[in-house]
Chain A
Amino acid sequence: MTSSNFVKCALAFVFIGVFIIVVWLFQAHNDMEQLHEAYQKYVAGERASTIAERQKEFNAALSIYTQMETAHTPTFSNGKLYYNIGNTYFQLEQYPWAILYYSKAQSLMPRNDSVRHNLEVAQSKLGIVLEKSNSIFSNYLSFPEKLQMCFALALFLLAVISLNVWYPSRLLKYAICIVAMASIVLLGNLVYSFYLAPINGIIVRATTLYRDAGEQYAKAVDKPVMPGSKVQVIDVLHKGTWLKIITPEGNLGFIPNTSIRMIGVS
């Protein structure tokens, strides 16, 4: 390969890199502007003097936030966007949707008191009692944080093993065992969280609990499943149009998919 060709290739890579960076910066700038506008709308809604004005501002803010959510799908983000969307729904008195987004935010920010408080307030509006989570992991670490910990442990494990390869020592071997065990435990927790932990959803619209997947079936219980309730999804039928759930009261039944939204990774 001649030097001129090498220079051309290098220039091409540099140009592509610069282009990507420019696009990224432009996108970031655009996002920044929209986020700023949404925040201003939200604050204006809080300061509104009439209900009509308040609703108008909050609806505008919600529109921007939901556009951001659709565009970026921040499933493994820090949860702030979901928190803001939850607040906006709350201000618009759409409590089931507020509970949904607060739950999403809480799964990404489990230690955040504001999220927990707002979720409690929203649930109290619908008369729902907040349930305690059984897992210490889910109470303390979000799923992305567990993945970050996994990555850090992987790097640390790599460093320790590498050292042991070049400078074998018994101490390093002990360190390897400890770090490896910690990694296995964390990986096991991740696998459990993703594959074995119950899938939860929030009822966004009151629905009848049917005995089977179809509206022609009888009701499983007389009382409908109330909006804002957190239910456990155990099966999906008819190409996702019907879901088999367990309600907080322990009732088993089927509901249409239009009545529920999933919270996301736990």
Chain B
Amino acid sequence: MDFIPNTDADRAEMLRAIGVDSFDELLAAVPEGIRRPELRLPPPLSEMELASEMRSLAEQNVDALHNACFLGAGSYNHYVPAAVSQLLLRSEFYTSYTPYQPEVSQGILQATFEFQSMICALTGMDVTNASMYDGATAVAEAALMAMAATGRCKVVVSGSVHPEYRAVLGTYMQSRGCPVFTTPVSRKGDRIVEEDIAALVDEETACVIVQQPDFFGRVRDLTAIVERVHAAGGLVIVSSDPISLGMLRSPGAWGADIAVGEGQGLGSPMGFGGPYLGLLACREKLIRQMPGRLVGQAFDAKGRRGFVLTLQAREQHIRREKASSNICTSEALVAVGAAIYMALMGPRGLAQVAQLCYEKAHYARSRIAKLPGFRVLDTGPFFNEFVVETSVPPMELNRLLLESGIIGGHDLSSDYPGLDGCALLCVTETNSRPQIDALAEAMGDIAAAKGGAR
């Protein structure tokens, strides 16, 4: 099925009007030897056949709608209200382009302005942009911002920031000739310990990047590190899960200069990793270094209020090689989805989702702590993720849990060699008490069958 409405008769008429005898005449500049190549592709499908084919591919996947999911680690199974999906199907939104003509794009522009406003409230920051690609690239671009703002070259990042975020930071930094220092994370008995990040801060430090809750789910007092970095003249970047901000003290309240994060939890499905939503918010003083689009309020000649892309002189289409970033297309529609989610939830709903995640995760941890064959690591205060040492290797445990319709936690071995045999479990508002009890029972049975405690 193609979507080409013109017929042979239409084309014949058009070719006549153009003044050529055949389509090939229009390809005169294309080298003859390689013109009109064969394309070896599967044969075309009618819509009915295509729908069937896509369904059969989808059905080969074990999904979280039909199985209990306890995976987090940067992608979260939160409930998406029906109104979000329905509103995102309004094709005036999803089939539109970047709003360069504001008079016919007030829908996207205002929705984005509202998104920006609500993220500012959530993060406690002065200004937010219209989105980055994801949490990882938001961290990377925040580091570049800090380097531009301070004129300094050294980046310090906590080892308890998501491993993939640190990897992306490394990729973005590779052409800069500037060092990235990472605090080592290791295991000491029942605790996960991180070397003191303040020790790495000096007068060369452009920024320190921390995550809250961190990759292991921990929540800590950031006062000391913020003070240390500011005293040295650097900037503090805090990466947060926005759902946790329904409960936790905001990056702004901690004194952060830039708040970044992954907005997927605000109304988007896990979607096998994308498309996601990078959040980037900062203090007013950093606005000129901020990458990405910004929507601002404006007025027409009749005094009517509207919205428009603004401060475009930062961006690639104006500044070209001097732009603060090369970003053009970002995640506009995903941001609109987040705005709709936050509008539906409101302050009470977001606080409630966070509270449910918190309580259920703590209940799950306390049940698992009582199981022979498992040891929960002591990480201090945590939000909705925690680390469990498993007597059965995590990969094997997860394989067996799948047989009971349970998607188990994230194996930490490859990212943290000191945490070999440990899994990161996540609980959200979508996990019922019976699901959590079933997880604990299944884990207990599996450990018992394999011959027990460590």
Say whether A associates with B.
Answer: no
